[in-house]
Amino acid sequence: MNGVVINADSMQVFKDVPTLTARPSEAEQQSIPHRLYGFLEPDENYSVFKWVKAAATEIRQIWRENKVPVIVGGTGFYLQTLIKGISPVPQVKDETRAEVRKLFERLGYEAFLNDFQKKDPSFTFTDPQRVLRAAEVLEETGKSVTYWQSLPLEKEIESDFLSFLTDLPREELYNRCNRRFEQMMKDGAVEEVRALLAKNPPPDSLIMKAVGVAEIKAMLNNKMTKEQAVSHACQMTRNYAKRQVTWFKHRFFADMVVFDVKSPSILTKALRFLG
């Protein structure tokens, strides 16, 4: 299809753990052009806003080359935002973010949450990352994040999309999850995490939340055996896959649900869409 692959996976943007995040291999990336893979350091802040702008820039460039952008990945919020748009929540300065997080570390989660809920009673979520983000927006703009989210969505790029969603039988999916992590351990995931930890990434770095990082870190610190680390990481992978299945089922519109990723009907539908 003369296509160029654009990454839509929030973990595969990081440099240090290509095996652990199942990034496309060097051979795959050389056989077909790939964009937005493996360019971030672990201490760099990244967000859906930054990804959408970067993806839109890549899409426009690919169009100028008369090629086809193919956006691939399982970070549903990235895909949803690219297709439908996002609330115009202003970006937060690094200085504001640092001040808010310093207060968070000083007070602790419970005290920080109680203090923030007094300032912004309209914000009802209690997830620490969401609370931090909402506090940063309030500090930066003087307005609640719920105000910004009430405004019409804004698109970074106008385009027609054809969406495919894979849907494997649950047993096969879970078996793949298990085999996936076990193979990663053989292919160098431990060495990747050791090198990542040597960079002393901040605790709130997104890449530190990648499935398997915590388990391998515990194994390296002799807090888990290898068998325990593998078992726990496989369970976390299955749990994550289950959450993804639920999210995409209820929040993502797919033009075609794919049960066999090698089905010729996928290519037929894509070629018809491209005209």
Q: Which residue has the tokens 């990082």?
A: 213
Is residue 6 a contact partner of residue 24, using CB atoms and an 8 Å limit? no
In angstroms, the CA 113 to CA 90 distance is 22
Task: Tell me if residue 167 falls in helix, strand or coil.
Answer: coil
What is the fold of 3-86+155-274?
A: Rossmann fold (3.40.50)
Q: Is the pTM above the cut of 0.75?
A: yes
**Residues 6 or more apart whose Cβ sits within 8 Å of residue 156:** 52, 53, 55, 56, 82, 85, 86
Q: Nearest CA to 154 among 205, 85, 53, 213? A: 85
pLDDT in tens, 229-258: 999 999 999 999 999 999 999 999 999 999
In angstroms, the CA 275 to CA 265 distance is 15
| Buried/exposed code over 201-210 (b: 16+ C-beta within 10 A; e: otherwise) | beebbbbbeb
pLDDT in tens, 177-226: 999 999 999 999 999 999 999 999 987 788 999 999 999 999 999 999 99
Is residue 268 a contact partner of residue 176, using CB atoms and an 8 Å limit? no
Helix or strand run (H / E) with residue 54: helix 48-64
Q: Point out the residues of the chain with pLDDT beneath 50.
A: none
Tokens of 248: 């995409």
**Which one-letter amino acid corresponds to residue 77?**
F
Annotated domain spans of the chain: 3-86+155-274, 94-149
